[in-house]
Chains A and B, each alone.
Chain A
Amino acid sequence: MTAATKPIEIPVPTGVKLPIFLDNHSTTAVDPRVVETMIPFFTEHYGNAASRNHVFGWTAEAAVENARGQIAALLGGDAKEIVLTSGATESNNLAIKGAASFLKKQGNHIITVETEHKSVLDTCKRLQREGFEITYLRPAKDGLVTPEQVVEAMTDKTILVSIMVANNEIGVVQPIEAIGAAVKARNPKALFHTDAVQAFGKVPFDVEKAKVDLAAVSAHKLYGPKGIGALWVRRKPRVRIDPIIDGGGHERGMRSGTLPVPLIVGFGKAAALAMDEMAAETLRVRALRDRLYRGITSRLTETYVNGSLECRLPGNLNISFAFVEGESLLMALKDIAVSSGSACTSASLEPSYVLRALGVGDELAHTSIRFGIGRFNTEAEVDYVIELVARSVERLRSLSPLWEMHQDGIDLNSIQWTPH
């Protein structure tokens, strides 16, 4: 029969090893140079950084302090401002719950954005149940919020504004410096928190320039280990928040718990590498992303990029392939690790809330694929992916009744569908 009825076979070019990892927003491979620095801290220098009276403790503490400095440097802050956590989920929880709890006498209003990560949104939802008022800003179609929009939402009761630097699905980078300046101009006492996870080490971000009070980061998105992150907490002027984990009083009382020294050392090294290599890496990764974008769009019609293409992380491409459901496309791309905004891939059977907030119709949200290019991807991999994606989309379109109707000039909106 037709081509639709046969699986696609494309020879794998030499130098390309399957599966190909193009899901670098969800996590990243640990850089071998990071692993190398971590190993001695499992087997030789395994002391507790809080042990004050022997060399094991001192060695561990010195390593932690060094790492703190490396992490702070990439943020443009000071080592003393780093509160180490288990990751950015915890950092966002600590920032938002900690600030809300500490400032509840000053006000009860919090502002955030509909496209934030769940660790921000669900934290806000919990506070809402506890009596806080939350404003969820809706971004424009390109995913961006404006400083004016933020200031307009602020009231005298606003204690916290939480807006991410870069989005994990669509990669859109907010004008964070302009937003920070506007928030502080409206009310210097309102705290400004940012989820900087995706931007950290990928695009320039400086806590001073952005005038933030709190910033959440995580190691595993930056070629560091999983299970370690930080909350940067401004010291000048001093920002105070309540802890959410009580115990031995580690991390200046803001986060108790024995420090995972090997992970922290790895986090520090990952930050130091990014500090040295970000400029060159950005160029290389962006070139690969642009190659992917051009390759796909020159081969296929009816593709739509979700979110601003200009204000975007260098490695992100989020694109909808109209008339091809995302999960069926993932199935064709089984040797490539990517993710989809389709409902069929989510436990909730709802399409991506981020795309919804942008006003992307559900029918297009179901067809979206997120590509996340990173440090270890190559041009040969990208070329293979372009070929596989183009052929797979063509094949699935030949199976799609919607594509056929579209080709026949039928307006899909004119049909009486049977939603279920």
Chain B
Amino acid sequence: MAYSDKVIDHYENPRNVGTFKTETDIDAGEVGTGLVGAPACGDVMRLEIRVVDGTIADARFKTFGCGSAIASSSLATEMIKGMTLDQAAQIKNTQIVEELNLPPVKIHCSVLAEDAIKAAIEDYKKKRSK
């Protein structure tokens, strides 16, 4: 299958790779983590958001999955930076499909990225309400 230039770009130069856990200057209370997918399904995404004053100041990801899954999560971290939680929660997988030119068989990779954003927001909110 031929990959779009954008998928290749995100795959070769993924943005915001990593985890806040190893970044010592960050207060764990500011971080929300979404871990979605399953190893047996061939795709797992972990997306972390760092929330400052109600907006997503920064994001990190790591992904086990195909090139389109890696690209979807890399793109997702770029998209949500600077958004409020409500804005980020509104992101639809179709925006990712469109931006990356994903073919039909790769739509589930974008769905996973959407799920990862939502799960990270959920996790952050849960922490806060404690």
Chain A residues in 8 Å Cβ range of B42 = 325-326, 342-344, 351, 362-363, 366
Is there an interface contact between A402 and B41, defined as CB atoms closer than 8 Å? Answer: no
Is there an interface contact between B40 and A419, defined as CB atoms closer than 8 Å? Answer: yes
Q: Scoring A residues 341 to 362 as 1 if CB is less than 8 Å from chain B, else 0, what string do you get?
A: 0111001010100000000011
Majority secondary structure of chain A interface residues (helix, strand, loop or mixed): loop
- Taking CB as reference atom, which chain A residue is nearest B9? A7
**Cross-chain contact of A404 among B11, B62, B65 (Cβ < 8 A):** B62
- Taking CB as reference atom, which chain A residue is nearest B45? A401
**Cross-chain contact of B40 among A1, A2, A347, A361 (Cβ < 8 A):** A361
Chain B residues in 8 Å Cβ range of A399 = 14, 17, 62-63, 70
Is A418's beta carbon under 8 Å from chain B? yes
The stretch of B31-39, B85-93, B122-130 in contact with A is B31-39
Within 1-52 of B, Cβ neighbours of A (below 8 Å) are at 3, 11-15, 17-19, 35-46
Is B76's beta carbon under 8 Å from chain A? no
In the complex with contacts A402-B44, A418-B36, A325-B11 CB distance below 8 A? no
> Interface size on A (CB < 8 Å)?
36
Q: Scoring A residues 391 to 420 as 1 if CB is less than 8 Å from chain B, else 0, what string do you get?
A: 000000011111110000000100101111
Min CB–CB distance B27 → chain A (angstroms): 21
Is there an interface contact between B13 and A331, defined as CB atoms closer than 8 Å? Answer: no
Chain B residues in 8 Å Cβ range of A366 = 39-40, 42
Is there an interface contact between B3 and A418, defined as CB atoms closer than 8 Å? Answer: no
Is A324's beta carbon under 8 Å from chain B? yes
| Distance, CA A324 to CA B64, complexed state (A) | 6
Chain A residues in 8 Å Cβ range of B82 = none
Is there an interface contact between B13 and A7, defined as CB atoms closer than 8 Å? Answer: yes
Is there an interface contact between A331 and B18, defined as CB atoms closer than 8 Å? Answer: no
**Cross-chain contact of B14 among A5, A323, A343, A351 (Cβ < 8 A):** A5
Is A86's beta carbon under 8 Å from chain B? no
Within 42-96 of B, Cβ neighbours of A (below 8 Å) are at 42-46, 62-67, 69-70
Is there an interface contact between B41 and A328, defined as CB atoms closer than 8 Å? Answer: no
Min CB–CB distance B91 → chain A (angstroms): 18
Is B100's beta carbon under 8 Å from chain A? no
Which of A323, A326, A417 is the most central at the interface, judged by chain B CB atoms within 10 Å of its CB?
A417
Is there an interface contact between B38 and A331, defined as CB atoms closer than 8 Å? Answer: no
Is A129's beta carbon under 8 Å from chain B? no
Min CB–CB distance A345 → chain B (angstroms): 8
Chain B residues in 8 Å Cβ range of A343 = 41-42
Chain A residues in 8 Å Cβ range of B67 = 327-328, 331
7 new A-B pairs (CB below 8 Å) besides A328-B66, A417-B37, A417-B40?
A5-B15, A325-B43, A331-B3, A331-B11, A362-B39, A420-B37, A420-B112
Q: Which 3 A-B pairs have the closest CB atoms?
A: A417-B38, A363-B39, A366-B42
Question: A residues bordering B, Cβ < 8 Å?
Answer: 1-2, 4-7, 323-328, 331, 342-344, 347, 349, 351, 361-363, 366, 398-404, 412, 415, 417-420
Provide a sorted-by-A list of 25 A–B residue pairs whose CB atoms are within 8 angstroms: A2-B17, A4-B17, A5-B13, A5-B14, A5-B15, A324-B64, A325-B43, A327-B67, A328-B69, A328-B70, A331-B11, A342-B42, A344-B43, A347-B105, A363-B40, A399-B17, A401-B45, A412-B39, A417-B39, A417-B44, A418-B36, A418-B115, A420-B36, A420-B41, A420-B108
Question: B residues bordering A, Cβ < 8 Å?
Answer: 3, 11-15, 17-19, 35-46, 62-67, 69-70, 105, 108, 111-112, 115
